[in-house]
Amino acid sequence: MPDHPAEPWRIKMVEPISTTTREYRERALRAAGWNPCLLRSEDVYIDLFTDSGTNAMSDRQWSALMRGDEAYAGARSFYIFEQAVRAHYGYEHVIPVHQGRGGENILSRCLIRPGTHIPGNMYFPSTRAHQELNGATFHDVIIDEAHNPTCEHPFKGNVDLAKLQAVITEHGATAIPYVSLAATVNMAGGQPISVANLTAACDLAHAHGIPVFLDTARAVENAWFVKQREPGWAHRSVADILLALCSPTDGAVMSAKKDCLANIGGWIALRDPELAEQARGLVLLYEGLHTYGGMAGRDMEAIAQGITESVDEHHIRARVAQIEYLGHRLDTAGVPIIHPAGGHCVCVDATAVLAHLPRTALPGQTLAAAVYLDGGIRGVERGTVSAGRDPATGENRYPPLEFLRLAIPRRVYTQSHIDHVADSLIRVHTHRRTITHGLSFTHEPPHLRFFQARFAPTAGTSIYTT
């Protein structure tokens, strides 16, 4: 068994959730076009759709809300927020945005020109969508191991430096506005990047005059893995490692809805004062004034407090261990998951579970439907549906990994909830052959299609033969 520390918190307030019957869930899922994303949350028992904005705030964060200064300009809460980001992430210029993709929009608009190229350690849908909307082409330069679900590499988020060099050589440094890195890598299953590799990737980019921007949404979880796995870092604090991850980069885009234990918010953090001035100008247009960026003053207070709590080692240890526990239970029951378990999620290999369905029948989406029907659990497909179509050819992209992501909100579910999830997944896996049909699109939106798409079984009226 992995080390499974008991939760370093007790429950002060509860939110009732209710179980439903299978018959009820069948009706609900049909009404949602077989897309769990379109379910009402009331119809979900354990919601593992995302760890984003779904965290439980602490009593101290709720108290901080009351201190929110809602002044339009120059709110006290902004300066508290700015100070917390500077102290823990180490960037000078801190520009608030309403959430991560607000920051992605601004950074992409500032730096990208049509026909340019952006290398990165695997794509994230909203990040790549903004890069493509501004005319860039994304190039995946992550190590090959990241695409292999059974490989146990400790840092599957690492950049393959030869691949990065090849993109620079092929397109020329002037056609590369920046390198887009993430810590951890969500689409690889929450896999970390090592400090050594991140630093080497920055050195390589900088040698060609190319800046590097880091997606820090889950950089604290990444820092925890560095402490556990990277030689030389075991005795450093998670807070120190977080600073070490950010230090070689030129800036960061942040969704505060993840590591920061908040329900909304984000920022862009930069070192270059001129780029910061340009970004503030666009924040005024798209987000709000540069001292609130679409957030209420109280949101900035909750984030500032959440940042401090996020680097507390009792918190981060228990958070990651809960995911490890779920991974371990699935693994020992023979459910194929991506190895090792990630920082925020366990990913079930849908192409392995539903190996009898073709990729065109969307096994990831089908598995998401089956798990909701069985246990009232909502996960999200990370495969063909999430990958969308190639903007140049219009063809579906079939990424090497196609999985059902079970993302665990922070401080929300107890171990018995996690056991319910494991039991249900094991049941679905045991009876996988009863899933005889996949799904196909009946409605396909042009951008981030997984959120609003609707589906129907490829034959008959169900994914099961009735």
Q: Give contact residues for ligand F0G (rule: CB under 6 A).
A: 50, 52, 99-101, 124, 126-127, 182, 186, 215, 217, 255, 257, 266, 407
344, 354, 379, 364: which is closest to 455 by C-alpha?
364
For residues 241 and 407, which CB has a smaller minimum distance to ligand F0G in the complex? Answer: 407
Q: What minimum distance in Å lies between the beta carbon of 29 and ligand F0G?
A: 20
The position carrying tokens 């503030």 is 280
Q: What minimum distance in Å lies between the beta carbon of 182 and ligand F0G?
A: 5
Q: What minimum distance in Å lies between the beta carbon of 50 and ligand F0G?
A: 3
Burial of 109 (0-12, 13-18, 19+ CB in 10 A): middle
- From residue 431, how far is each of 20, 173, 423 by CA, in Å? 21, 52, 12
Q: What minimum distance in Å lies between the beta carbon of 37 and ligand F0G?
A: 10
For residues 102 and 336, which CB has a smaller minimum distance to ligand F0G in the complex? Answer: 102
For residues 252 and 439, which CB has a smaller minimum distance to ligand F0G in the complex? Answer: 252
For residues 293 and 457, which CB has a smaller minimum distance to ligand F0G in the complex? Answer: 293
Burial of 169 (0-12, 13-18, 19+ CB in 10 A): exposed
Q: What minimum distance in Å lies between the beta carbon of 338 and ligand F0G?
A: 15
Q: What are phi and psi of 33, to 5 degrees?
A: 60, 35
The residue nearest ligand F0G at its CB is 100
For residues 156 and 429, which CB has a smaller minimum distance to ligand F0G in the complex? Answer: 156
The position carrying tokens 């760890």 is 51
Q: What minimum distance in Å lies between the beta carbon of 183 and ligand F0G?
A: 9
- From residue 67, how far is each of 71, 264, 298, 351 by CA, in Å? 12, 17, 7, 49
For residues 255 and 429, which CB has a smaller minimum distance to ligand F0G in the complex? Answer: 255
